[in-house]
Amino acid sequence: MAYFPNIIFGLVLLTAIFLFRRNILFIKRNILIGQALDRSDRPSERWFNMIRIALGQSKMVTRPIAGILHIIVYIGFIIINIELVEIVLDGLLGTHRLFAPLMGEVYNWLIASFEILAALVLVSVVLFWLRRNALKIKRFWKPEMKGWSKNDADYILYFEIVLMTLFLSMNATDQVLQDLGNPHYTKAGLFPVSQLMTPLFSSLSAATLVIMERTFWWLHITGILIFLNYLYYSKHLHILLAFPNTYFQNLNPKGAFKNNETVTKEVKLMMDPNMDPYATPAEDTVPAKFGASDVTDLNWVQLMNAYTCTECGRCTDECPANQTGRLLSPRKIMMDTRDRLEEVGRNINQNGSFQDDGKQLLDDYITKEELWACTSCNACVETCPIGIDPLSIIMDMRQYLVMEQSAAPSDLNNMMSNIENNGAPWPFNNQDRMLWANEN
Amino acid sequence: MQVPTLAELTAEGKKPEVLFWVGCAGSFDERAKKITKSFVKILHKAGVSFAVLGTEESCTGDPAKRSGNEFLFQMQAMANIEVMNAYEVMRIVTTCPHCFNTLKNEYPSLGGQYEVMHHTTFINTLLKEERFTISGSEYKGKRITYHDPCYLGRANQVYEAPRELIQKLDAELVEMKNCRSKGLCCGAGGAQMFKEPEKGNKDINIERTEQALETQPQIIAAGCPFCNTMMTDGVKNKEQENQVLVQDIAELISKAEDL
């Protein structure tokens, strides 16, 4: 029976890892529903981007307050997770503070730094909550931030508050037990923050303290494992996907929109004087679909973008159309893409392969009005702290509207027929192109 | 105004150092034609051998592509590329950031490889190579704010060349609250120039004009014929057209030099 807690811990850990692995495989499969796109070029530039933007948080600080608070939580998350290695090993081996005897003084300093970071994270998370719920910063209260999106953002903050409080309470009770000379709790660690909490526990009996310390310990580690599995349902996935997302982000100038190669082939054929217009097309030519009306038409990087988005709303905040009261919100484009992709994923899970559900990304999620409001100014792409490109999705969907449905606004149809007929977007005669040279 | 076409020069067996891509706005739009002429005056002053395509030029296809009509875009692109490759064009300068972006970034994969410059970069190079100098004091001490065109700035990272030119005019460059990579669009990009805006509570050009007027400028400088139109309309809407001028950087320089 002595090994009972170890076995329970092992089972809990294995279950959490199993579920997490399953979630990751779901996400991977869903992302790969997208069209192929080669982003294997320029690996050194890509590594550099990932290190600078994701690891180094370089784009977060363009908004200094949110940026600095985020960096504190981020550093806290990474550093405090070092402690997780010890916690997991302690849980499996039934030891207590396994690394303490091995590391000596270094251990004390490590624990002290974890505690200080935990306190800073607590403060930052409370400030984050106040920014959302007391200051009511505009971008957190846009129409797309209702229901789950609003709750999700708050749940994450509550999770962090609970986890940090448990971590510090665990250390506080541990300290009191150490001071009482409890044999299992050997002197180890330096506790600059949790020592302030010890008066809360000092009057309790050793037996009560052990129960409390164990409870905090178990709640803390299971809380972390639950949080790990909450990621799949949450915008918080960015803590993982920000890395591949910045690695695979577009490296070309932002104004360079990709050329559709199927169209290139057709145009080349049309312009080839030796082409036989009556030739039967080759057997393998499947009529291609132009542009995107559903997530399956988007490429895998665009779908990864959707899973990576943490709904911070900087894109929407910078969007000129949104600033002037139009329906378009680049964040909503990403959220809709993810919601639809999840729906398609569930459909596949239920039916083995995708069965037509009579829905698509266009119209059922993203309206034409949103798509036509975009000025393609790239402000959303420029500002995204983790390299998401909402503009490419908007442009692919416009391509579908125009090339598959001929559904452009009539003004644009006029402009396009002018280009076709006169080589200019206005109804001027191309022969008059040089008139300006003879005017004063 | 002496403006040779590439066809004429080729017939004479000559090759210009650069092709001036005038663009549709620069060719047809009354306001933009003034920018075109100012730039040509600068080219003459600096002794640049240039040519235009004239009636052989056709829309780059930018507004078609941004509208989603990839087919029309590529038809335009390939026809233009065929013309330019036949003339063995190597370098292009243009006064329109949309033409600039499309020629520079979207023509290469369709077979058109050129060195493409925006006119502000080109003029800056001419000054650095001392092919002409700015000596006039027309703008000394004047407050000028510069509006970053999206397709020059964010799309292609050209932020400094236009600003350096304004400073060479001895003017006081004042920045708007949104500038450089955070510059706010004028509202014309992505083919919006050619359609009515969607329902909103304000036009984008008004929002941007308000930002510009906050700096209390005497001149709003632009580097794009479409931004120019949008900002001019915005200034008129605010009834400031008698106090605040909207000018292309080429116009500022040609006026400073009394060209």
Is B116 found in the same domain as B138? no
| DSSP H helices in A32-63 | 43-49
Tell me, yes or no, if A383 comes closer than 8 A to chain B by beta carbon.
Answer: yes
pLDDT at A76: 94
* Tally of domains within chain B: 2
Question: Does the structure show a pLDDT above 90 at A2?
Answer: no
Is B69 found in the same domain as B44? yes
Q: Which of the four pLDDT bands, split at 50, 70 and 90, describes residue A203?
A: very high
Give the end of a domain, one of B126, B155, B189: B126
pLDDT at A288: 78
User: Are A33 and A295 a contacting pair, CB within 8 Å?
Assistant: yes
Is B73 found in the same domain as B143? no
Question: Does the structure show a pLDDT above 90 at A201?
Answer: yes
Write out pLDDT tens, residues B11-33: 999 999 999 999 999 999 999 99
Which of residues 271 through 330 in chain A touch B, CB cutoff 8 A? 271, 290-291, 318, 320-321, 323-328
- Chain A to chain B Cβ contacts (< 8 Å): 218
Tell me, yes or no, if A265 comes closer than 8 A to chain B by beta carbon.
Answer: no
Is B75 found in the same domain as B15? yes
User: Are B146 and B179 a contacting pair, CB within 8 Å?
Assistant: yes
User: Are B198 and A369 a contacting pair, CB within 8 Å?
Assistant: yes
Facing residue for B78 by CB, picked from A267, A378, A398: A267
Nearest-neighbour CA in chain A from B231: distance (Å): 15
Q: Which of the four pLDDT bands, split at 50, 70 and 90, describes residue A283?
A: low
Q: Is residue B46 part of a domain?
A: yes
Q: Which of the four pLDDT bands, split at 50, 70 and 90, describes residue A280?
A: low
Look up the ipTM and state it: 0.97
pLDDT at B95: 98
Is B105 found in the same domain as B122? yes
How far is residue A28's CA from residue A77's CA, in Å, rounded to a whole number?
A: 24
Q: Is residue B1 part of a domain?
A: no
Is B251 found in the same domain as B154? yes
How buried is residue A254: exposed, middle or buried, by Cβ count under 10 Å (0-12/13-18/19+)? buried
**Mean pLDDT along residues B99-117:** 98
The CATH number that applies at residue B32 is 3.40.50
Q: Is residue B206 part of a domain?
A: yes
Tell if the CB–CB gap between B59 and A419 is shorter than 8 Å. yes
Angle of CA points B171, B173, B178, to nearest 5°:
160
Question: Which H or E run contains B19?
Answer: strand B18-21
Give me chain A's average pLDDT, please. 95
pLDDT at A151: 97
The residue segments making up the domain with residue B239 are 134-256
Tell me, yes or no, if A438 comes closer than 8 A to chain B by beta carbon.
Answer: yes
User: Are B47 and B131 a contacting pair, CB within 8 Å?
Assistant: yes
Nearest-neighbour CA in chain B from A377: distance (Å): 5
Question: Does the structure show a pLDDT above 90 at B259?
Answer: no
Cβ-Cβ contacts under 8 Å, A328 against chain B? 198
pLDDT at B137: 84
Query: What is the C-alpha R_g of chain B?
Result: 18
Write out pLDDT tens, residues A231-247: 999 999 999 999 999 99
pLDDT at B227: 98
Q: Is residue B17 part of a domain?
A: yes
Is B182 found in the same domain as B74? no
**Mean pLDDT along residues A67-74:** 97
Is B218 found in the same domain as B146? yes
Query: Is the dihedral angle over the CA atoms B184, B190, B192, B194 positive or is it negative?
Result: positive
Is B11 found in the same domain as B113? yes
Write out pLDDT tens, residues B168-225: 999 999 999 999 999 999 999 999 999 999 999 999 999 999 999 999 999 999 999 9
Is B64 found in the same domain as B162? no
Is B199 found in the same domain as B97? no
pLDDT at A281: 62
Cβ-Cβ contacts under 8 Å, A287 against chain B? none
**Mean pLDDT along residues A11-33:** 97
**Mean pLDDT along residues B87-114:** 98
Q: Is residue B188 part of a domain?
A: yes
B124 token code pair: 């800056």
Give the end of a domain, one of B69, B96, B126: B126
Tell if the CB–CB gap between A255 and B151 is shorter than 8 Å. yes
pLDDT at A282: 62
Give the end of a domain, one of B91, B126, B161: B126
